[in-house]
Each structure stands twice: as C-alpha cells, then as structure tokens.
Amino acid sequence: MDILALIGEQRLAEAAEKGELSNLAGEGQPLPEDDISPLVPPEQRMAWRILKNAGYLPPELEARREAVQLAMTLADAEGDALSRGLKRLALLNQRLTEVGLPPVSAEGAYGAKLLRRLER
C-alpha cells in the first residue's frame, strides 16, 4: 500500500472513532448503481465518470445520441431531407457498429415503439 492510501485509511479510522461518519444522509442504504457501462475497462472508469459529471460524453455515446435524435426527426421528414437524414443515420450506425453498440433504427414496428418510448 502506498503512503497516500495509508494516510487516507488512518484519517478514515480516526473519523470513525470520533463518530464523524455516523448519522450521515443515506447511512444504511445501498450505494447507487454505477451508471458506467460494465464494458468500460476498470482503469478507464474514473475518467468516464469525471467526463460524465462534467457534461461530456465519449465520442461513441455522442454518436448514439445524435443517431437517436436524427431517427426521431426522420419520422416526420420527407423528400430530400429524408434522403439526407437516412444517409447520415447510416453513417452514424456504421460508427456505432464499429465500437460494438447496436445501430439505431426508425423503421418498422420496433422503430415506432422505440420512438414512442424516447419521446416520453
């Protein structure tokens, strides 16, 4: 154990002995679920959490968000706008597939169900 971990452990033990860690909000309740994907390597989780808390998304999740928003707008698009939107959605889906995320589709019964769910 390195020196910083030892100092941290000592201070936690001292605070617990003094009773400074009792009667805190949420005491006795389970910790909130970790919303970082289990597929993220452990050494990258802290960086992802910091970026998430700062309001930034990893590029693959930014592409997913853009694809979902595009799929929602394509439901009402027609003509040239629909054609350009479908090409952009295909490009985004290709990027998502490359990083192992499922593609976004706005076609068929599944697409309609997905759009209704996302609109809530």
Query: What are the structural domain ranges in the chain?
Result: 59-119
Q: Per-residue confidence at 106, pLDDT binned at 50, 70, 90?
A: low
Tell if the pTM clears 0.75, that is, is over it.
Answer: no
CA atoms of 86 and 60, how far apart (whole Å): 19
- Mean pLDDT, rounded, of the chain: 80
Does position 7 have pLDDT exceeding 90, yes or no? Answer: yes
State pLDDT tens for residues 76-94: 777 888 788 888 888 998 9
State pLDDT tens for residues 19-52: 888 888 888 888 777 677 777 778 888 887 888 8
- The DSSP secondary structure of 33-94, one letter per residue, reads PP-S-TTS-HHHHHHHHHHHHTT---HHHHHHHHHHHHHHHHTS--HHHHHHHHHHHHHHHH
CA atoms of 57 and 49, how far apart (whole Å): 10
